[in-house]
Amino acid sequence: MAPGQGYADDSTNVIASSVADNDVRLLTRIAAGELSAFEALYRAYHPRLTRFLINLLRRPHLVDEALNDTLMVVWKRPQSYNGASKVSTWIFAIAYRKALKAMARRDEPLEDTYADQRISPDVDPEQDLERRQMQAILLSAMNQLSADHRAVLDLTYFHDADYREIAEIMGCPVGTVKTRMYHARRHLKEMLAGRLVDWL
């Protein structure tokens, strides 16, 4: 990527804006008790929330519980969305709080039981071994981070949240988000030790 060019362009922003508008429409219908609208929102958010919660919780049974608890809040209390942020920010903030509660109840050692599944299954067999080794290193490096650091990484790189949205989701100052991101990046960079460029 040439300096001065980020990922997003105008068309991306238009799509994001359209998605945000659609979310608000769905939430309005959910407030009217429309189950089909809730299903549409569920299907839109399930993959993203699952991924976010897996990165935080690392336990499939806790992920399911936190995910359902999160979406049940959306179903039961859609009126608690006050329009001050994007619907996605509101939902992720609920998910984050549900995950914290789930973690507080957890008394098991941390272990990424999804790690094997998360290594991409659809790579070319010729590149398979090297790619898998690299992904394993990346997952291992991420496992060494705290849940909050993983959350910042995931929200930034996968969910395209900006640091203000992340601060809102996690209920912390923007400076804390930047600091967490800085430490997470530095840790990953040390762990990957220059291998990432050759990997792609």
Using CB under 8 A as the criterion, which residues of the chain lie in contact with another protein when the complex forms? 1, 3-4, 6-9, 12, 35, 38-39, 42-43, 46-47, 50-51, 54, 61, 64-65, 67-68, 71-72, 75, 105, 108, 114, 117-121, 134-135, 138-139, 142, 153-154, 156-158, 160-163, 178-179, 181-183, 185, 188-189, 192, 196-197, 199-200
> Token pair of 60, please?
């499939």
Shortest Cβ 191–another protein spacing (Å): 11
Q: Which is nearer to another protein, 44 or 100 (CB)?
A: 44
Q: Can you tell me the distance from the alpha carbon of 90 to that of 69, in angstroms, rounded to the nearest whole number?
A: 14
Q: Which is nearer to another protein, 47 or 83 (CB)?
A: 47
Nearer CB in complex with another protein: 22/50:
50
Please identify, using beta-carbon distances, which residue of 32 and 200 lies nearer to another protein: 200
Q: Which is nearer to another protein, 1 or 32 (CB)?
A: 1
CB of 40: closest distance to another protein in angstroms?
10
Query: Cα Rg for the chain, rounded, in angstroms?
Result: 18
Supply the DSSP symbol for 130: H
Residue 24 CB, nearest distance to another protein (Å)? 20
The least distance separating another protein from the CB of residue 43, rounded to whole angstroms, comes to 6
Nearest to 71 by CA among 15, 26, 121: 26
Q: How many helices (H) and strands (E) does the chain have?
A: 10, 0
Please check whether residue 164 is in contact with residue 69, taking contact to mean a CB–CB distance below 8 angstroms: no
Q: Exposed, middle or buried, 41 (CB in 10 Å: 0-12/13-18/19+)?
A: buried
User: CA 175 to CA 161: how far, in whole Å?
Assistant: 15
